Chain A
Amino acid sequence: MLSMLTLVACKENEIETFEDESSLFFFRSIYSTNSKDAPQLDSTSYSFFLGGAIQVDTVWLDVLLTGMPSGEARSLLIVQSNAGEPDAAIAGVHYVAFDNSYVASRMVMPANEVVATIPIIMTRTSEMDTKEFRLDLEIMPNEYFVQGIKDRTKYTVKITAKATKPVKWDAPNSYKATFGEWGQEKMRFIIEYVGYNTFDEDLITDYRYYLQLKAREKLAEFEALNGPIYEADGTRVEFPEAN
């Protein structure tokens, strides 16, 4: 009996390898960013307002592989699933279509890789000053891949040029404490004249003081030449003089 046990104990373990079909899903994490250092959950909201005068910009999304990497590049099939619906983004108008040669060349799982980083190239239109357009993406099966993790095969990109109140504006000791009540013209002034456009930071005290002092000085300079600035509702743009 003992020798039998010994013989069994010496038998080499066989490790099971992955044998299912390769599948794809969108990266999602609340703890880390994607390969382009951008947050990626289940949607992205983008506004051209923060970018100043730029007309074209790109949102990069990571698509992950479940399965074995291949020695050859394999194309992905990602489509717009809300085409034709109200306020849906239109390919070739609001974003560069996926059959564009450059975009198509990036819709690929590279050889020997398990992550594909795909570009959603957005183009600004005048309509975006007052409207938001929605691009619903879905991973579809093709000759190489099937759909992966069930609730991660879809992703939404919202595109606009409206000034939207940043999520962190009213947070304690944040943008409201620095700049006062939010307004579209105020936000435009901050971006163009104060030179600040990253409204998702946690502001330390030093930096809040710096932004507030600079905003007040720049506004005083502007008003000396051009007079006061007003929001659409008639509210004058002002910055607080103290925390």
Chain B
Amino acid sequence: MKQIIIYLYAILLGVSFVGCVEDTGNYDYEDPAVVAPTIKSGIEENYSVLVLEDLVIDPAIEGDESLYDYVWYAYPGTITSSTPSDTLSVTKKLDYTVSLEPGTYQLVFKVTDKTNGTSAFYKSKLVVASFFSEGYYVLKYENGYTDVDFVDRNGLVNANVLKAINGESLPGKPIRATYEYNQYSYYVYDAEGNRTRKNLQPAYMVCTDDDLGIYEGTSMKQLKRWNDAFLEVPAIKKPQGVWANTSGFMLMNNNAVHFEYIGGGGGGEFGYAYPNEGIKLNSIVAVGSSSCLCYDDNAGEFVGYYVQKHFAIKNAIESASPLTLKPVGEVYFTNCDLIYMGVQPYSSTSNGGTYAIVKDRATGVASLWIINVSIMQNYYAMYDNGYRGRTIPESFDVVNGKVFAIQGYGVLSTPPAYSGVIYYSKGDNVVHYYNPSNQTEKKNVVTIPADEEIVHLAHSSDPSTVTPVDEFSILSNKGGNWVLRVYHREGSTPDINPTVVKSYTGTGLAKNFIYRNSGTRITY
């Protein structure tokens, strides 16, 4: 009997527990395989593309395709609650020109039954690689706008990439463009308005006479335009150029310098105008670290700016050992016209040797100066290493040049003075050079067709990259189109082998170009 009672209690307990189980309800359940859409085929597990490539995927759907809604979207590989997603298409067939930032994504295809609202998904891995890390950025003017023709690593000319990526070119005539691979910061906002600062990012900037465009350096997606590129937009808009200066960027507008400083902690805006104190700034600039060497056309002398010093730097310093360097408060020269100023490249971050050719207004005598711009940030002054100005012989034609380039040093160490020749063209179809080390000139180094006008020269020199860069390039205009020719030097001499190694053409009038190699941090 006792045993029976125990069994009854056990049954009672069991019933009690079962009684606590929630009722499943009285719904009708259907098989998802029957009512939900079915993606039959046509999508792979992995995709690998470059920015600007076309990604085309046409999946097969079971049944009548018109009964479904479709969406393609991508989100970054790491999912968080605020991970944004990009909608790529709302059609069954994806035909998408890739403009995502380089990285790894989840590519998702979603099919939704319009009648019953059920959906099916297919997830793939999408790897987007940087397309813009190597090639030539030809800045040009066409149909009233400025844009960039990008010659990629395969030699293909991708025309008008600003418009292709962002939907529009820049208004105005091109002045110059610049690039730096890790000295720009900006804010990104999620759907809830939360702000994240992206620091040490690559950026490409284009300055026209009517606008400024700031673009993310790997995808060429627009980050800012003139009206949001300043902490306080200048009252007068008269852009004169933009430069990368190894710690950010410098913009010249309406005769004043503005810095965007990587150490500033902000969101990539240019700051207030630095005082110009009666200076008329020439638009030829040589950059240093957080500083720039400019030229005052009024006084006819150098003037420098360093981001942390809020005054124009006009001091020169005595040539001596580094221990005795100090400002002497005098300029090296005055009342001279600037013919040319540029930096001798010797690595991807060279900023030590700035060459400047000036001509005395009173005497007509031209001289070559070598200025150490990086000294400006340490001693607030300009240092010429004691070389003073080297007089350029009166018969030399370099003083009549319109387009210039300095020969790169090609060795990873500080170049000695006068170690680079100065290539030049007088606005025609011929290249010459001036060699200050032995005070000679060589004429007719390279000649291109007579109906072309040379607009830009460059010796792209960087021994620090995996494959050292050593190319001499000539950019010219011909009948409304541009031509870019690339040459090699004759060994390690400054002479140019006249055989064209590579040649590219495009439409529009070129102004200048930048060459980017994966190891190149900065362009001048």
Q: What's the tally of chain B residues with a CB closer than 8 Å to chain A? A: 24
- Bound CA span A207–B259, Å: 12
- Describe B's contact surface by its main secondary structure: loop
Q: How many residues of A contact B (CB 8 A)?
A: 19
Near A by CB (< 8 A), chain B positions 93-114 give none
Given the complex, which residues of A lie within 8 Å of B275, measured CB to CB?
213, 216-217, 220
B42 within 8 A of A: no
> Could you say which residues of chain B place their CB within 8 Å of the CB of A220?
275
Among the listed A2, A3, A204, A242, which residue makes an inter-chain contact with B311, where contact means beta carbons less than 8 Å apart?
A242
User: Please, how many angstroms separate the alpha-carbon atoms of A6 and B19 in the complex?
Assistant: 12
- B308 near A243: Cβ-Cβ < 8 Å: yes
List residues of chain B with CB within 8 A of the CB of A243. 308
The smallest C-beta distance from B142 to any residue of chain A, in angstroms, reads: 36
A212 within 8 A of B: yes
Interface digits, B256-297 against A, CB 8 Å rule (1 contact, 0 not)? 000101011110010111110000000000000000000000
Q: Is B232 an interface residue (CB 8 A)?
A: yes
CA of A181 to CA of B423, assembled, Å: 53
Closest Cβ of chain B: how far from A203's Cβ, in Å?
Answer: 9
Of A204, A213, A241, the contact of B273 (CB 8 Å cutoff) = A213
Supposing A204-B264, A204-B265, A214-B272 touch, asked if A209 and B307 sit within 8 A by C-beta, the answer is yes
A216 contact set on B, CB distance < 8 A: 275, 310
A210 close to chain B: CB less than 8 A: yes
Q: CA–CA, A3 to B261, complex, Å?
A: 77
- 0/1 per residue, A188-220, Cβ < 8 Å to B? 000000000000000011110110111011001
Give the residue name and chain of the B residue nearest to A239 (CB): B310
How many residue pairs between the two chains, A and B, have CB atoms under 8 Å in the bound complex?
A: 63
Interface pair A213/B265, CB less than 8 Å apart: no
Residue of B nearest to A214 (CB): B272
Among candidates B16, B261, B310, residue contacting A212 with C-beta atoms closer than 8 Å: B310
Complex contacts, B501 vs chain A, CB 8 Å: none
- Chain B nearest CB from A172 CB (Å) reads 14
Interface of chain A residues 1 through 48 with chain B (CB within 8 A)? 2-3, 6, 10
For residues 279 through 336 of chain B, which have their beta carbon under 8 Å from a beta carbon of chain A?
A: 307-311
Q: Point out the residue from B13, B16, B265, B311 that lies within 8 Å of A206, measured CB to CB.
A: B265
Q: Given that A3-B9, A214-B232 are known contacts, is A206 also in contact with B272, CB under 8 Å in the complex?
A: no
Q: Is the CB of B13 within 8 A of A209?
A: no
Q: B12 in the interface, Cβ–Cβ < 8 Å?
A: yes
A206 and B266 in contact (CB under 8 A), knowing A213-B273, A214-B232?
yes
Q: Does B231 contact A (CB under 8 A)?
A: yes
Given contacts A6-B13, A6-B16, A217 and B272 within 8 Å (CB-CB): yes
Which residue of chain A is the closest to B306 with respect to CB atoms? A242
**Shortest distance in angstroms between A108's beta carbon and chain B's nearest beta carbon?**
32
Complex Cα distance, B308 from A242, in Å, reads 7
Could you say which residues of chain B place their CB within 8 Å of the CB of A214? Answer: 232, 272
Kindly report which residue of chain A lies nearest to residue B6, judged by CB atoms. A2
Output the least CB separation between B225 and chain A (Å).
Answer: 19
Which residue in chain B gives the minimum CB-CB distance to A9?
B16
Does A241 lie within 8 Å of B266, measured CB to CB? no
List the B side residues contacting A10 at CB < 8 Å: 16, 20
Are B310 and A205 touching (Cβ within 8 A)?
A: no
Asked if residues A2 and B232 are in contact (CB atoms below 8 Å), the reply is no
Q: Which residues 8-28 in B have Cβ within 8 Å of A in the complex?
A: 9, 12-13, 16, 20
Q: Closest residue to B19 on the A side, CB-wise? A: A10
Contact partners of B269 in chain A: CB under 8 A: 206
Cβ contacts under 8 Å, B264 to chain A: 204-207, 209
**30 examples of A-B residue contacts, CB within 8 angstroms:** A2-B9, A2-B13, A6-B12, A6-B16, A10-B20, A204-B265, A204-B266, A205-B263, A205-B266, A206-B264, A206-B265, A206-B266, A206-B269, A206-B271, A207-B231, A209-B264, A209-B307, A209-B308, A210-B231, A212-B310, A213-B273, A213-B274, A213-B310, A214-B232, A214-B272, A217-B275, A220-B275, A241-B311, A242-B311, A243-B308
B binding-site residues for A, Cβ under 8 Å: 9, 12-13, 16, 20, 231-232, 259, 261, 263-266, 269, 271-275, 307-311
